[in-house]
């Protein structure tokens, strides 16, 4: 159920069936010396497709550029949108989803700092289109258990054990295990937020050396089950009544 693989009649029929549309949003950014720059987009797209295959919902083409300003130009590889630009793009995608007849949209996020622009877009769309039901959810904190797996080696993680494990499970062509380095989280207990070059020498925060394909498989399965549950509950959810 991928939007760009269906015809106009098939998309129209899906809208009449009341399916949920899922928009994967990721990033194109440095992920240390060991992970590909498209890591966040790949994870979000793969998870969305896996869950929708079970629920029958519809997955949009992935928004592969996110808000990655914190990585700066210190390392090559990052291509970032400004937060205002990303919010506008998500709004415009949402409007066209609505015009195709859909009334429920889940934004599945794979990159931490996409939150503010996507949430801003939801606020605007909810005001413009009062019967449009929207949800933003990040694959790394969709449940408290999943969140704990990501943060166990670094609260402010990046390219860490969880991400290395997922990639070892999902696509080993996108990881260079021999180039893995570990770096501690230097932001713990600090008052202010810092760009990545001020907190990491390599672009890594965490201990990716502990990643395994087996733990990646377990993590991905828990993420898929959590997203399937969210979509199934969202499909039948009715507006609150008084």
How many domains would you assign to the chain?
1
Write the DSSP symbol of residue 242: -
Looking at every residue in the chain, the average pLDDT score rounds to 98
pLDDT value, residue 236: 97
Mean pLDDT of the 147-161 span: 98
Residue with tokens 């240390």: 32
Per-residue pLDDT, averaged over 47-54, amounts to 98
Say if CB 162 and CB 140 are below 8 A apart: yes
Asked whether residue 242 is assigned to any structural domain, the reply reads: no
The answer as to whether 127 is a domain residue is: yes
For residue 188, being part of any structural domain is answered with yes
Asked if residue 84 is part of any domain, the answer here is yes
Closest CA to 29 of 40, 20, 17: 40
- Residue 105's Cα: distance from chain center in Å? 14
How many angstroms separate the Cα of 100 from the Cα of each of 3, 14, 16, 49? 11, 10, 10, 20
Answer whether residue 107 is part of any domain.
Answer: yes
pLDDT tier at 213 (50, 70, 90 boundaries)?
very high
Segments forming the whole domain that contains residue 131: 3-236
Share of the chain above pLDDT 70, in %: 100
9 falls in which pLDDT band (50, 70, 90)? Answer: very high
What is the pTM assigned to this prediction?
Answer: 0.97
Q: What is the CATH number of the domain that holds 186?
A: 3.40.50.10310
Tell me phi and psi for residue 84, to 5 degrees.
Answer: -65, -40
Residue 14 domain-assigned?
A: yes
Q: Is residue 121 part of a domain?
A: yes
Q: Single out the residue of 225, 25, 1, 3 nearest to residue 106, CA to CA.
A: 25
Q: In degrees rounded to 5, what are phi and psi of residue 104?
A: -140, 130
Q: What average pLDDT does the segment 15-34 reach?
A: 98
Residue 241 included in any domain: no
């Amino acid at each position: 159920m991928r939007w760009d693989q269906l015809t106009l009649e098939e998309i129209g029929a899906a809208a009449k069936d009341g399916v949920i549309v899922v928009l994967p949003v990721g990033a194109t950014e440095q992920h240390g010396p060991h992970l590909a720059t498209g890591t966040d987009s790949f994870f979000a797209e793969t998870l969305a497709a896996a869950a929708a295959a079970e629920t029958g919902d519809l997955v949009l083409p992935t928004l592969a550029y996110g808000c990655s300003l914190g990585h700066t130009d210190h390392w090559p590889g990052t291509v970032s949108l400004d937060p205002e630009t990303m919010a506008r793009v998500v709004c415009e995608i949402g409007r066209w989803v609505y015009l195709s007849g859909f009334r429920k949209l889940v934004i599945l996020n794979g990159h931490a700092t996409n939150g503010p622009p996507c949430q801003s877009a939801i606020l605007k769309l909810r005001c413009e289109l009062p019967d449009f039901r929207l949800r933003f959810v990040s694959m790394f904190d969709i449940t408290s258990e999943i969140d704990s797996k990501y943060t166990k080696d670094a609260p402010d993680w990046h390219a860490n054990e969880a991400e290395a494990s997922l990639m070892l499970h999902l696509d080993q062509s996108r990881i260079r295990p021999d180039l893995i380095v570990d770096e501690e989280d230097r932001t713990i207990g600090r008052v202010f937020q810092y760009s990545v070059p001020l907190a990491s020498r390599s672009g890594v925060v965490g201990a990716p050396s502990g990643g395994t394909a087996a733990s990646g498989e377990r993590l991905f399965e828990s993420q898929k089950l959590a997203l399937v549950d969210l979509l199934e509950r969202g499909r039948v959810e009715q507006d609150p009544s008084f």
